Structure formats: C-alpha cells, structure tokens
Structure 1
Amino acid sequence: MANIVYTFEGHVYLNITNACPCKCEFCIRNNGDSVGDADTLWFSGHSPSFEQVKKEIDEFDFSGYTGEIIFCGYGEPTCAYDVFVKTAKYLREKLPECKLRINTNGLSDLLNKRPTAKEICELMDTVSISLNEYNSEKYEALCHPSFGEKAFPAILKFAEDCKACGVNLKFSVVDVISKEDIDACQALADKMGIPLRVRNYTAD
C-alpha cells in the first residue's frame, strides 16, 4: 500500500490518487517511486477510500504541527473528488489550526463534469494551479492532457472562478520551459491578476 500521508521539506502532504488526465513531460513521478519520507506513492490497483485516508491521518503524529497540509501526490487530487472533499472537511474538524492547500492541474471541472471551483475554494485556504504554459498549443505539447484542446481554456476558467471566490490563489510553472515562455506565462498571469510562481525542476 502506498503512503497516503507523507512529509517533504517540513510540510505534510496527502497522496489520495494516482489518476491524472495529463502526462506532463517533467512530471516527478516519471523519475522514481516516492518523494520525501514516503516509501512509495504508487497505489496497487485502486485509489484509497476515504476510510483508508482517514485511518492514515488518524495514525499520523500531527502534534505541534500548524503548517500547511497539502493535497499533492502522484496524481491529480480532484480525480478522487469525493475523497478529496470528505478528507478536507475531516481535516477542518480534526486540525482547525492547520491551513489546507491543493496543488491542482485546474482540470477539475472537466474531470467532474460540473463547476467545482466554489466548493474547492470553500474547503481550501490556498489553491495552486499548474499553468505550465501560456496557450493551448504549448500546453498540449508539454502536458498531453486527455481533454485535448479543451484543457487550457478550462484551466483559465477554473482560475477565474477561484479568483472570484477570494481564495489565496497562485499559478505555477516549472522552469523546464524557455525564458520566453515563462515571460509569456507571467504576462498572462498578470493580465488575470493572479500571482505566478516559477518552480525549479526537481529530478529526484
């Protein structure tokens, strides 16, 4: 069984699914089985149920921890939307002193076939969206989304909806793309009024 709760660089992360509609060229899961103190982040056969996630949370020693709990593992958290929502609500009750964040590809609306930004923003303190490129053609070439040309516009719409909710919102890109592309992503983020974080590529 894969680790559901793991730590990395002083933060607590939740790995709730291996499903993802993208196959990003730079995805860290292409390079190994785990991150941080996890033994493996690969589930065998199926994603965990809420009961399994809750069990690992209950068994984890959160004493003294008041930092972020981040939904981010070897998959897109909103692919396991029901488990994500139930887990977030449970954490709000169990650990109200901790902040909750989701690192997402922004494709939740397409994955779940309905608008999801409002519900996600009501549960999260921070939403970090992987923008990755500045237009559909570039995004498809880098991230290979199963939704094709629908993907990038859906990400921008999801971001607009999150911004309207007033949540702490940020875009991210990874520095595997050119400086020109990063600058174009920055211009798009500035136009939308959303901060952009440029992440360093990590191969391990």
Structure 2
Amino acid sequence: MSRVRPNPARRETPADHSDSYVYLIRNSLYVNLTDRCTLACGFCPKHNGSMEVKGHELYLSTLPSHEEVIPLIGDPKRYSEVVFCGYGEPTLRLKTLLRVARWVKGRGGRTRLNTDGLGSLFHKRDIVPELAECIDALSISLNAQDESTYQQHCRPSLSGSYPAVKAFIARASELIPEVYVSAINGLEGVDIPACKALSEARGGIFRERQLDVVG
C-alpha cells in the first residue's frame, strides 16, 4: 500500500467554521479536494502553522465528494479557469478529480491541475491519459535539480519520487497541451537555471516561483 502524509494535526475550529471546497483568487476558481499529500515539504505553510491562502482557510474537516463540489462551481465559463489545488495533492482523489474536471469541460470550462507529479507513482499506473481527457493545463512542482536536494526540501513518503516526477513531466508533455514546471527561488541549494534546463528538456514550460509567496 502506498503511503500518504496524514492530514495536518486536527485543530479546534470555531463553531461556525465551514470547509472551503472551492475558493476564488482573481478570476480563477480553485477546487480544494484534500489536505493529504505524498510530500512533507519544509517550505509548505501547512507544516509551519498556516493553511490560509489569500484570506481563504483551506483546512478540511471532511473530504468533499464530486456531488458536493459541482454545485459550488456553477457555470464554469464565468471563470478564466477552474484549478484543482489546495494544501494537498489532488491526484490522491483521482476519481473525484476526474469526475469534476469532466463536468467542467462538458460545460465549456477550462481546467488546470496543480500537482507534485507523483500521481502515477502513487496509483501504480500511468494516469496521464485519464488526465488528458479533461485537463487543459498542468502545473508540476519539480522543486529541485537533483535527487538529494529534492529529498532535503520535499521529504517524499514514496521511494523513487524524484525520477517519477521527471518521468511524469515528460509523459504529460506528450499528451497535455500546456505543462508548466516550477521550482522555488530562495530555497537552499536549488539551482534555478538547472531546473529550467531539466524541465525544458522534458517538454515543460518553466516557471520560477518565489519563496513564501503563495497564491
């Protein structure tokens, strides 16, 4: 059985707290499917006491079904894109992700998935063809130019994670129109030009992110 990082420690929440299954940033609607992850990145705010992005609290007390998420989206054409992204890894909820994404595409919306690139490793099969049916763009977090730096900052729970990310970038670039690959400027030992070269060699479009800037 593949291992997954557990939810962040359960917290006392106000009586009027309600989970944010969707949240709006600029003109993009984000879908928050899970706060579980295959990584425990040292730079991730959720491991440093915060699960807020742009005023939205993303802590989940329950994981939403597609039946709960879809009515919250409404007309997806109202948004520039519908993005699957929270403080967890959306591909861990692959069935729900695909059901919602297919619904969005069927109603003329644009979809993007933010991912750590470990979905195929976790599910032990190539999931890219399934994603390609309903995802217009991928944003993949590479985070490092070599395995030792990746291990230092991302602390994966699955063996073989770093080569799996690189393979996922290459595979996704074959089937999905837009594949963006990112690394964070400001992390110790991360070589941004090397990350860019590695990404572009596998067909990805590189995007540099900045440390502690989220959303």
TM superposition score normalised by structure 1 = 0.87
CA displacement, residues 32-84 of structure 1 (integer Å, 9 cap, x when unaligned): 2321342x21111x4111112123224xxx58724011111111000111110
1:80–1:143 distance in 2 versus 1, CA, 3 Å:
same
Preserved contact between residue 7 and residue 36 of structure 1 (Cα < 8 Å)? no
Instruction: Indicate the SS of the match to 1:22.
Output: coil
How far apart, in 1, do the equivalents of 2:116 and 2:197 lie? 19
Q: Is the CA contact (8 Å cut-off) linking 2:21 and 2:32 kept in structure 1?
A: yes
Alignment of 1:137 onto 2:141: no
Gaps of 5+ in 2: 1-17
Q: Distance in 2 between matches of 1:31 and 1:201?
A: 16
Say yes or no: does 1:24 pair with 2:41.
yes
**Percentage of matched positions with identical amino acids:** 31
Q: How does 1:96-175 map to 2 (within 5 A)?
A: 96=108, 98-148=109-159, 150-175=160-185
Equivalences, count: 196
1:177 to 187, 191, 206: 187
Shift of 1:5: 0.8
Partner of residue 28, structure 2: 11
Q: Which has the higher helix share?
A: 1
Aligned position for 1:55: 71
Deviates more, 1:180-189 or 1:151-160: 180-189
Letter in 2 for 1:167: P
The 3 A distance-change label for structure 1 pair 106 and 140 is same
Call closer, same or farther: CA 1:9–1:28 in 2, change over 3 Å. farther
Q: Distance in 1 between matches of 2:188 and 2:212?
A: 16
In 2, distance between residues paired with 1:108 and 1:79? 7
Q: Using the alignment, how far apart are the partners of 2:65 and 2:137 within structure 1?
A: 24
The equivalences for 1:185-200 within 5 A come to 185-200=195-210
Q: Is 2:93 the partner of 1:76?
A: no
Q: CA RMSD in A?
A: 2.0
TM-score (norm 2): 0.83
Unaligned runs of 5+ residues in structure 1 are: none
What's the offset of the Cα at 1:24? 0.8
| Contact 1:118/1:161, CA 8 A, preserved across alignment | no
Q: What is the CA–CA distance in structure 2 between the aligned matches of 1:174 and 1:183, rounded to whole Å?
A: 11
State the alpha-carbon separation in 2 of the partners of residues 63 and 181 from structure 1. Answer: 38
Runs ≥4 residues deviating over 6 A: none
